[in-house]
Amino acid sequence: MMQQPSTPAPKKYIGKATSRIDGTERVTGKATYAGDVKLPGMLHARILRSPHPHARITRIDTTKAAALPGVKAVLTHENCQQTWSSGAAPGGNIYGGQPGTRRLFNNPVRFWGEAIAAVAAVDPYTADDALQLIEVEYERLPFVLDPEDALKSDAPEIYPGGNLAPNARNQKQPETYRRGDVAAGFQGSAHVFEGKYTSSYINNAQLERRASVATWKDGALTLYASTQGISNCQAHMALDLGIPVDKVRVICHFMGGGFGNKNQNHDFDLLAAVLAKETGVPVKVEFTRKEDFTAVHGRWPTRQYYKVGVSAERHVAGRAVARRQRHGPVSEGHGRHLRRRALSVSERRDDDQSGVHQHGRVGQHARSCLSTGGLRHRVDDGRRGVQDERGPGRVPPQEHDAEVQRRDALHRYSLETCVRRGAEQFDWKNKWRKPGSDTGPIKRGIGMAIGNILSGLGRSGATIRLDANGRYTVFVAVTDIGSGAKTTMALVAAEALDVPLSQIDLVHGDTDSCPFSVGESGSRNTAQTGRAIIDAADSLKKQIAEKGQPTGAAFLVATATPSPQLQGVTRSTFCAHFVDVEVDTEVGRVRLLRYLACQDNGRIINPLTSVSQVKGAVTMGLGMALHERLLYDSRSGVPLNTGYYGARVATHLDAPNVEVSFVETDDGYGAYGSKCMGESGIIPSVAAIANAIFNATGTRFTELPISRRALMEARA
């Protein structure tokens, strides 16, 4: 039975806006990021990259580069066969042993910017000069960029056997999900809507470029990495290098963002490790900003075909989805997201999803894999067709309710509350007008969209030590990718131990001193590592009760690595976003005048950083909705608009003042009822903006971004 959310009782330390515990270090430049690490005798590496989207290297001569004074090592596919798996083997299975298994250097190369060679030298300029001396002859091979062209029978093959990316079972077949009689659902529908929706390649665009410093001693590797998870980075480095996990130490004390593409280990980590081993001294690999935008993955672009049947009562009677995701030459993962238990909109589903290999950038994790814009959009389209006069926000909340009630029990369902509260705060009822009501060139419109992201539970670890001075040291393997995780962890510890924040020291970001952590991906750190802190604190408190406070040089130590499970329920974050836009149809400009995000992220541990998380997510969504698109020159396969300027990542001036309203709940799971935060805000944002543009102009745009060009073309 579904339970209605109730506002949780306030706690002593959590739930109060708290500045970041590392804020001073960050803003004064004292924080040491991977790129700041300098070790004695350290070399610098630079990477030569493919100027072609698909080519066979027929000759590579590094003699002149190696002879340049200051150059200590040159690696190419000829002398380095190091595997770079990192979840990137076909099917997403590490070491799948399939033809697509990725190495640091591949021949043939399969996208513009793929690594051809790496040089380690006494300084980055010497390394860069050496790259110019490497002689490479290529046999250019035919290439394909468009994912649907790539599926044609005469398309150039990225790997033998066709360009469909393998599914979770390593079969070159789409991932499918069928439930109920979809045909009957359509037959019983009052209206059936069909449409094609496309989304574009989005850059993760984190400020901190990719950087890694590696050093070896007695067969053990120490890696100063820029990673979202030191534990999984450590495990995958060990796997790739073929050494025991305890021979790898990963250190990451400060992170400058990742948004999904600094999970596991990466080529820069492995290159640093291999070059350091080769030269016997520490090596730093640091990408240029351009490499940061081209050599690694961002959000995959999609083509999505939807067919949605809507009953006279406006329920979704059936839906069929075919989705093609452009994966580049490697699948980082395999598009299993369709199978995730996302908020269902229909009993009857016929979903078919596949990744498609092509000769472009690798596409994958980027701040919520679910936020590809299409589905919500499409379903809203369907509904609106039936109920033009009533508008999107007037869809009675019970309808969302009904959708969910048909699913297995969703714990503490609060979407209805988010929609209702958001609509009230936004004054939806008085603001709503028929789509395209403004006759002048400047048109106002409002839109809303709902979203959810499952907030599961799982394993993570924490250790707490109490000394005789009454100081508590919390050991957690977080790196804090920018979310404020260190502060959140310290707050959870303060609450669990019932001591002020000032009595807590945090040791983080070092696999030598911290227990396993799930890492900061999937927005799960607070719920999972936070839970581990609470369990460790409980255990420590028991010890204190039994043994008393430690004295002298003695310590009390407690460790917990819980793996909590949800008992027969599904747990989710819910969001309802509302936006007011102004569209200047004469110049094709969209301005967001007001943006309200109403969210249930469970209990809010730190309102200050939580609000920032939602604001950041919405700003990324804005870029996806209106601006970002990776353009390739179709004749050469060269990406044209890389980097912050070219990619048109949204700036502060583009971002509206996002009002964030939390519907707080505590379901007893996670850390004090906390649910996932970081990714949630982006999920409804794209559809909310698209719906507002529809409401303003009366024109439905089905291709992202809804750029100035698209708006002008629609007007013509």
Name the residues that contact other proteins, by CB under 8 A: 125, 128-129, 132, 288, 290, 586-589, 591, 626-627, 631, 633-636, 638, 640-641, 645-646, 648, 650-651, 653-654, 707-709, 712-713, 715-716
- In angstroms, give the least distance from the CB of 705 to other proteins: 10
556 vs 618, which CB is nearer to other proteins?
618
Nearest to 80 by CA among 117, 41, 40: 117
Supply the minimum distance, in Å, between the C-beta of residue 290 and other proteins. Answer: 8
Name the 3-class secondary structure at 557: strand
Evaluate whether 105 touches 77 at the Cβ level (below 8 Å): yes
Question: What's the min distance (Å) between Cβ of 57 and other proteins?
Answer: 20
CB of 225 to other proteins, least distance (A): 25
Token pair listed for 666 = 């505590």
Q: What three-state secondary structure class fits 625?
A: helix
CB nearer to other proteins: give 135 or 194. 135
Cβ proximity to other proteins: between 544 and 631 the closer is 631
The least CB distance from residue 654 to other proteins, in Å, is 5
Residue 397: how many CB atoms within 10 A of its CB? Answer: 17
For residue 271, report the phi and psi dihedrals to the nearest 5 degrees: -60, -45
Shortest reach from residue 357's CB to other proteins, in Å? 23
How many angstroms separate the CA atoms of 463 and 423, rounded?
44
Query: Among the residues of 248-310, which ranges form H helices?
Result: 267-279, 289-294
Which one, 141 or 638, has the nearer CB to other proteins? 638
* Residue number, 474 or 626, with CB nearest to other proteins: 626
Q: Which is nearer to other proteins, 361 or 411 (CB)?
A: 361
Distance CA 73, CA 119 (A): 6
The Cα diameter of the chain in Å comes to 81
Please give the Cα distance from 665 to 172 (Å, whole number): 43
- What the block records as the tokens of 436 is 């395209």
Q: Which is nearer to other proteins, 127 or 448 (CB)?
A: 127
Nearer to other proteins by C-beta: 12 or 715?
A: 715
Q: Least distance to other proteins from the beta carbon of 55, Å? A: 17
Which alpha helices (DSSP H) does 280-357 contain, by range? Answer: 289-294
Give the residue with the Cβ less far from other proteins, 221 or 285: 285
Q: Cα angle at 513 between 550 and 561, to 5 degrees?
A: 80
Mode of pairing for the β-strands spanning 462-466 and 472-476: antiparallel
Cβ nearer to other proteins, comparing 384 with 627: 627
Q: What is the rounded (10 degree) CA torsion for 3, 611, 227, 229?
A: -20
- Shortest reach from residue 372's CB to other proteins, in Å: 21
| Amino acid residing at 665 | T
Q: Which two tokens stand for residue 379?
A: 């379903």
| Residue 355 vs 639, nearer CB to other proteins | 639
What does the alpha-carbon distance between residue 505 and residue 639 come to, in Å, rounded to a whole number? Answer: 46
Least separation in angstroms between residue 650's CB and other proteins is 7
Query: How many angstroms separate the Cα of 272 from the Cα of each of 2, 211, 511?
Result: 52, 9, 18
Q: Report the candidate in 684, 1, 688 with the shortest Cα–Cα distance to residue 343.
A: 684
Mapped onto helix, strand or coil, the DSSP state of residue 215 is strand
Best CA proximity match to 623, nearest among 200, 257, 207, 304: 200
Minimum Å distance from CB 208 to other proteins?
Answer: 18
User: Bridge partners of 453?
Assistant: 573
Which lies closer to other proteins via its Cβ, residue 66 or residue 714? 714
Least distance from other proteins to the Cβ atom of residue 259, Å = 19
Q: Give the span between the Cα atoms of 301 and 325, in whole angstroms.
A: 6
Which of 36/633 has CB closer to other proteins? Answer: 633
Q: Which is nearer to other proteins, 2 or 67 (CB)?
A: 67
Cβ-in-10-Å burial (0-12, 13-18, 19+) of 302 comes to: buried
Q: How far is the CB of 593 from other proteins (least distance, A)?
A: 13
Q: Mind giving me the DSSP string for 96-144?
A: --STT--BSS-SSB-STT-EEEEEEESSHHHHHHHHHH-EEEEEE----
CB of 714 to other proteins, least distance (A): 11
State in angstroms the smallest separation of the CB of 586 from other proteins. 7
Q: Smallest distance, Å, CB 425 to other proteins?
A: 25
- Looking at the Cβ atoms of 56 and 715, the one nearer to other proteins is 715
Q: Go through 212-225 and write b for each residue having 16 or more CB atoms within 10 A of its CB, e for each that does not.
A: bbbbbeeeebbbbb
List strands edge to edge, sheet with 658-662: 442-454, 572-584, 589-600, 658-662
Report the alpha-carbon distance of residue 366 to residue 578 in Å, rounded: 23
Least CB distance to other proteins at residue 528 (A)? 37
CB atoms within 10 A of CB 510: 17
Strands (E) in 21-102, as ranges, are 43-49, 55-61, 71-76
Q: Minimum distance from CB of 703 to other proteins (Å)?
A: 14
**What is the spatial distance between Cα 505 and Cα 474, in angstroms, rounded to a whole number?**
6
Residues 6+ apart with CB under 8 A from 550: 466, 467, 468, 556
